[in-house]
Structure 1
Amino acid sequence: MHKDEFGTFHTHKDVLDQINVYANEEKISTLELANDAKINSFLEEDENGGKNNIEFKIGENKFNLKLGSVFKDKVVTKYYLENNPNKIIISKDGKFEEPKNSNENIVITQIGYMKSKDKILISKFPKKTTLVPKHLPLKIESLTYAFSKLEVKEVKNIEHW
């Protein structure tokens, strides 16, 4: 999970639900919001990160999660070129840096998506995408056009969606 995988259309409950996907894998089933009054509060736009703090609890133990960047009505795509995993590239607009080497593949580390009227639309994946995150964000309900430009035979982790 990335600390900046949320947009302004997410509520505190949405953040809890997404984190619980990962917590459940670790056999943690008691994670909840510390303040139920904020359950339907939307995240605040914050491109620099740090403004959105959400308090959680497990049993009597409370802790804060400080979110990173929260963009207006979108979550950015993060990826890297297969031969350069230390250089994470951020696509805010759905455009991708094409590999200089035509045999080089793309690894998606964070799936981008946006709010459009009353729908959530997934960003299209680059044509050389070979690996995606194991978990599809809970807000995404359709993969329409997500892989429409794909030129590879296999995308790893999609079987978990």
Structure 2
Amino acid sequence: MFASIKAATFAVLAVAAGQALAETHTVSFVNNCGRGTPTLIQGPNVLSTGGAFTSNGPFRSWIAYLQTGSCGFNGEGCTIVEGTLVNPTTAGSGSSVDLSLIPPHAFSVTTGFGYQGACAPAGADCNNANCNTAFHSSGDTFVQVACQANDANLVITFCL
């Protein structure tokens, strides 16, 4: 009987530890524009066209934009949000998100993002083609918004 109690206790601890270590990140959208389709892509894959997307594990190298009919597949011609959502393993190695207007991207609609949870209210908004919160060239690294907390979630808003 002691062996079965010990085995059951170990099983419960193993499940609890596995749940505690599971990494998840959710990206949600708010579209206040009355037009367009929020689009989330990673590489050649469309992951969302408006609904919340949850990654069960690190979520690297994705972009999001409001498809108004004039955006290319990778957001060309539009304002994009780009980022990586990962749990930090060392200081400074967590999530990073930014807005980009580096050509061929261009201002299309007011766009913003904000972390939810431990890193809230960190984020950024861009409401014109000259906003100082978006990349205009690759050297504008000061616009990146970091989150050094586990399981960072993000809300992207169009037409703030």
Considering only CA atoms, is the larger Rg found in Structure 1 or Structure 2?
2
Pick 1 or 2: higher relative contact order, CA cutoff 8 A, min separation 6.
2
Larger strand share, 1 or 2 = 2
TM-score in terms of structure 1 length: 0.30
